[in-house]
Chain A
Amino acid sequence: MTDMLKIVDLHVEAGGREILKGVNLTVREGESCVLFGPNGSGKSTLLASIMGYSTMSVTKGRIYFKGTDITDLPVDERAKMGIGMMMQRPPNILGVKLGDLIKVSSENGEQVLQEAHEFRMEKFLDREINVGFSGGEIKRSELLQLTAQKPSFILLDEPESGVDLQSIDLIGRKVHDLLFDHAQGEERHVSSLVITHTGQIMDYISADCGYIMRNGVIVASGDPMKILNDIRENGYGEE
């Protein structure tokens, strides 16, 4: 398997503070990786840095995607290369309708709009993006957008947080659909990096590897289920 994402010694500042302090991490083609870590350890900063959000300032290190150095590329170019992200708290976009964004963001946008009911989002297409959406609605909206976008590498920031049990199943199934491109059979070639605290999403993504982040660095990696069980029993260890 070739490397989809390779992060080398990444240092990132946000809000004038160094958050990531030398992250090294690799996700291979078709691989699902899970990122664990206590609140404030830098997990969301890492995902936002991979997507290229300008609030994240890379001070050292590189990010490679499909062999290309994307460290200095703007967000849209990263998206066009195949990176897609589900944000935990996306901004409200006053006046812009969800359906309109989906329509223009992808060639198959129109078709995905027809499938909105599968995401229980058909009544939200004429709504302003994220304005007044509940936790679960935000997740389903993000997934609908990602489904139109068809990324080859998916960043999910706590897909199950703030979501009721029924919605978790729906979200889990839709994430599964994104990862397993049915047109290509069951063989997975979409990769993902997923932040989770509860591990619930792991029932749907067949996670291959797990990382623990603490204080801006990756401190452990290995079998994701083992890591999750270990965290359940012993916590994240020393701060």
Chain B
Amino acid sequence: MPESQTVREALNKKGTYGKDLDLEHYDVEANEAVKVDDLESSDYKKYMENVGIVADEMERSGTLMFIDNKPSHCSPRVQEGLEVMSTQEALKKYDGLKDYFWKAMDPTKDKYTAKTYLEDGDGYFVRVKSGYHIKYPLQTCMLLNTNRSTQNLHNIVIVEDNASLEMITGCSTAHHANDALHVGVSEIYIGDNSNLSFSMIHSWGKQTGVRPRTSTMVGKNSSYTNNYIILNPVGSLQSFPAATLGDDSSASYNTMCIAHESSDIDTGGMVNLNGKRSRAEIMSRSISMGGRMCARGRLIGNAPEAKGHLECRSIILKDGGVTLAVPELEAHIADVEMTHEAAVGKIARDQIEYIMSRGLSEDDAVSMIVKGFLSGGSINGLPPELQKELDEAIAQANLGD
């Protein structure tokens, strides 16, 4: 673990990408615990459901909820082989989580990780024991509830060998906490012959600052899927999650964004193809409604027979913003195969008119194409509530303008 002094110095280190946020701006403490016993009758239900979290927990393996910086709800419906608790509890139970705590993420990476380190942020700890395949998705929910505060979380997910898990993580802002900052460090560890599917759905406020930092270590012959969806306005969001793959493992990053007017989104994914025959696919589909949208993808080929493809596609529906696609391929040896494609622009007129020729109005045709474009980014297995949310968000976005 680095010296606190070194990390303190990193508090002045700007993030590599995205606007530099002034941490001092968020000067309100938000450390009071808000307990939520029954999710169904909770005041927060609507925020949860907006981000794919099911209040009745049907077909879910459990729920862990954080409001601001404290755990609010930890579902008892945990099944054998699955452990869910707060990170602080896990640190006590597992003697400081020596193999996992700040092992995948460098706390001096930038000011946001440094802050989490120095404030010893709590978060969720999830562990799937070796040999267990968890049937239903586990859901976690992070809610910003105090204006001008920082939510500063440190999450740890461990899927041991020969195990699998699906997670749905919903993050949201209460209306009265629009101008707040979410910082979340997530360290994810996947063993050998294991799978993790990690879907994040975000719905923030128009001024909210969002700086998640996620790093995933994948063992041998395993797979990791990372879905990221943000359809509502946000202030400034920047994240560039990274995965490092072992032999014969694969990673898939799928991003689906709408950059509304005044939203500033900079996101994507990066994969270190460190294992022999490791494979990665990074897909980004975004719509600019007049906001700033930067879609990044980076593949780094370090091992023989590694393969990867990245695709950044963006449709611009309204002028006034900026759309930037940054696909990067970096190879350190000859025996790798990496490709990319990027496309930015309006919807082709012939596509709109083709659909109109079947009797649909222009607005309906555009909406259908945009919806298909977004959901066609191979984001599979979305919960039905989320699909509904996606449909509504697209319907409300005045996409026919």
A→B interface (CB under 8 Å): 51-55, 74-76, 78-80, 84-85, 87, 90-97, 100-101, 104-106, 128, 145, 148-149
Does B326 lie at the interface of the complex (its beta carbon under 8 Å from any beta carbon of A)?
no
Given A75-B353, A87-B354: A96 and B368 interface contact (C-beta under 8 Å): yes
| Residues in chain B near residue A128, CB distance under 8 A | 372, 376
Does B72 lie at the interface of the complex (its beta carbon under 8 Å from any beta carbon of A)?
no
| Residues in chain B near residue A84, CB distance under 8 A | 357
24 contacts between A and B (CB under 8 A): A53-B350, A55-B349, A74-B356, A74-B362, A76-B361, A76-B362, A76-B365, A78-B357, A79-B356, A85-B357, A87-B354, A93-B351, A93-B354, A95-B369, A95-B375, A95-B376, A95-B377, A96-B368, A96-B369, A96-B372, A96-B376, A100-B368, A101-B355, A149-B359
Closest residue of chain A to B375 (Cβ to Cβ) is A95
Q: How many angstroms from the CA of A80 to the CA of B358 in the assembled complex?
A: 8
Q: Is the CB of A93 within 8 A of B359?
A: no
Q: Is the CB of B372 within 8 A of A79?
A: no
Q: How many angstroms from the CA of A105 to the CA of B358 in the assembled complex?
A: 6
Q: How many angstroms from the CA of A55 to the CA of B353 in the assembled complex?
A: 10
| Residues in chain B near residue A91, CB distance under 8 A | 348, 350-351, 354
Q: How many angstroms from the CA of A149 to the CA of B376 in the assembled complex?
A: 25
Does B373 lie at the interface of the complex (its beta carbon under 8 Å from any beta carbon of A)?
yes
Does B374 lie at the interface of the complex (its beta carbon under 8 Å from any beta carbon of A)?
yes
Having A76-B361, A105-B360, one finds 12 other A-B pairs with CB under 8 Å, namely A52-B353, A54-B353, A75-B353, A79-B358, A93-B372, A95-B369, A95-B372, A96-B368, A101-B355, A104-B364, A104-B368, A106-B359
Q: How many angstroms from the CA of A53 to the CA of B356 in the assembled complex?
A: 10
- Contact check: which of B364, B365, B373 meets A95 at CB < 8 Å? B373
Closest residue of chain B to A96 (Cβ to Cβ) is B372
| Residues in chain A near residue B353, CB distance under 8 A | 52-54, 75
Categorize the interface residue count of chain B: 20 to 34
Q: How many angstroms from the CA of A4 to the CA of B368 in the assembled complex?
A: 31
Shortest A119–chain B CB gap in Å is 16
List residues of B (337-357) whose CB comes within 8 Å of A's CBs.
348-351, 353-357
Closest residue of chain A to B352 (Cβ to Cβ) is A75
Q: Is the CB of A75 within 8 A of B356?
A: yes
Q: How many angstroms from the CA of A55 to the CA of B357 in the assembled complex?
A: 14
| Residues in chain A near residue B376, CB distance under 8 A | 94-96, 128
| Residues in chain A near residue B349, CB distance under 8 A | 54-55
| Residues in chain A near residue B357, CB distance under 8 A | 51, 75-76, 78-79, 84-85
- Contact check: which of B359, B362, B371, B373 meets A105 at CB < 8 Å? B359
| Residues in chain B near residue A52, CB distance under 8 A | 353
| Residues in chain B near residue A97, CB distance under 8 A | 372
Interface pairs A-B: 6 shortest CB-CB: A95-B376, A95-B372, A96-B372, A105-B358, A76-B356, A75-B356
Closest residue of chain A to B370 (Cβ to Cβ) is A95
- Contact check: which of A74, A93, A148 meets B369 at CB < 8 Å? A93
Shortest B266–chain A CB gap in Å is 24
Closest residue of chain B to A94 (Cβ to Cβ) is B376
Q: How many angstroms from the CA of A90 to the CA of B359 in the assembled complex?
A: 16
Shortest A194–chain B CB gap in Å is 17
Most chain A Cβ neighbours within 10 Å, of B354, B355, B360, B369: B354
B135-149: contact bitstring with A at CB < 8 Å (1 yes, 0 no)? Answer: 000000000000000
| Residues in chain A near residue B360, CB distance under 8 A | 76, 104-105
